[in-house]
Amino acid sequence: MKDLNAALRASATAKHKAFSEKLIPTVAPETILGVPMPALRKLAKGVDRSFLADLPHETYEENILHSLLINGLPAEEAIRAMDAFVPYLDNWAVVDALDPRAFYKGDYIEDYIRLMKSPAPYGRRLGIVLALRHVKEDPERLMNAVETAESGHYYVDMAMAWFFAEAALYEPEAVLRRLEEGSLPASVHKKTIRKIKESRRVPPAVKARASALQ
């Protein structure tokens, strides 16, 4: 791992470190090296899968590499690797980097829903973000699951809002109904409307109806 650490430090810049520290305030600054994502993606191609057993990692960038390696695993291996990684998740960026390619070739909705029930907030965020990426596979089922996820953590609430804004592309009436009925937690309700209004993909008519429900 000495060679990997040296390669990470060689790819780091002070400018990107300062940028990352502001972007991910929940991460201890001393663990952030400042390696841009393109360099991390390139480095990930040369990292052996045995790296996944080397937990906990010392740096934020190593955690990103961990996510990138999981993304290339077969589905069942990816699920096991994510479960093992959940206790070490401490920021939104590492969570959002997890996007296993194998999940696009099958139905893994039950796994997303199981993650949403995690006692760890970033485990719940992971389940919600995965559901967001696959929402069109079963919008109503996933909306019901996300709606009942434990809220209250800022980055979980933001993921829930992001999810419902994405769901509005496929089932706008179901999302608007939830906003009309006030079935979402208050903080998620407000954030969802904001996300819908900010979206470049949600139709103007849906944005207008959502805005009226603030």
What would the pLDDT profile of 81-100 be if each residue is shown by its tens digit? 999 999 999 999 999 999 99
Residue 172: is the preceding peptide bond cis (ω within 30°)?
no
Which tokens in the block code for residue 22?
């502001």
Identify residue 179 by its one-letter amino acid code.
L
- Rounded mean pLDDT of 60-65? 98
Q: How far apart are the first and last CA of the chain?
A: 51
Residue 138: other Cβ atoms inside 10 A: 14
| pLDDT over 90 (residue 198) | yes
Kindly report the pTM of this predicted structure.
Answer: 0.95
Check whether the bond before 36 is cis (ω within 30° of 0).
no
Residues 6+ apart with CB under 8 A from 56: 88
Nearest to 32 by CA among 53, 9, 55: 9
Instruction: Tell me how far the alpha carbon of residue 103 is from its chain's centroid.
Output: 14
Q: For 140-176, what is each residue's pLDDT tens digit? A: 999 999 999 999 999 999 999 999 999 999 999 999 9
Query: For residues 151 and 159, is the Cβ–Cβ distance under 8 A?
Result: no
Q: Is the dihedral of CA 135, 90, 97, 110 positive or negative?
A: negative
